[in-house]
Amino acid sequence: MNLNKCVFLDRDGVLNEERGEYTFTDSDFLIIDKVPEAIQLLKEHGYLLIVVTNQGGIAKGIYTKADVQRCHQKLQAVCNDNINAIYYAPAHPSVSASLARKPDSLMLERAIAKYSIDVTQSYLVGDRKRDMDAALKVGVTPIYVENTETPPTGITKVKNLYEAAEFILKQKTGM
């Protein structure tokens, strides 16, 4: 069986601007500079691109699944429909438990099974320790986008998704 290589992508802080509060309206969902270019570059080199995002505001009743879908439609439109799949965990620990919600790894496990992903050739780009933890649980290489959190030790750190894409391609192609 042919296995696919993949880049899993956290959403807030990696693809769209992190606002410090829930982002669920079109007007607040602002794509970070060079994200479409990074997505295109990874796609051209044969990577599946799968978003894995916690969306606990749904469980809290702050916004709806339809709100999340509208943000994701905007993301796909800006990125020329180059994202293969978007998984989101609507639970929040204050309301309901879920193995899908990062730092747990069920979203990744589902995608790995569905898309026949080779974890040894795959990455997760995220901006929180919980993203790194989820990646490590399934054997995917984590890449940390620097933010205000103290970065995890021993994990590659980058400034943004475009820098992560360059790092990935350098590892795999020697570009």
Apex 145 CA angle, 75 and 136, nearest 5 = 100
Q: Is 10 a catalytic residue?
A: yes
Contact 155, 169 (CB under 8 A): no
Per residue in 14-52, pLDDT tens?
999 999 899 999 999 999 999 999 999 999 999 999 999
C-alpha span between 125 and 73 (Å, rounded): 20
Contact 61, 26 (CB under 8 A): no
> Token pair of 146, please?
């620097």
Average pLDDT over residues 102-108: 96
Q: Is 131 a catalytic residue?
A: no
Could you write out the DSSP letters of every residue in 108-132?
HHHHHHHTTB-GGG-EEEESSHHHH
Please identify which of the residues 10, 104, 127, 131 carries the catalytic annotation.
10
Q: Give 142's DSSP letter.
A: E
Q: What domains sit in the chain, N to C, each tagged with a CATH number?
A: 6-173 (3.40.50.1000)
- Supply the pLDDT for residue 93: 85
Return the percentage of the chain with pLDDT > 70, whole number. 98
Per residue in 46-99, pLDDT tens?
999 999 999 999 999 999 999 999 999 999 999 999 999 999 999 898 888 888
pLDDT at 175 over 80: no
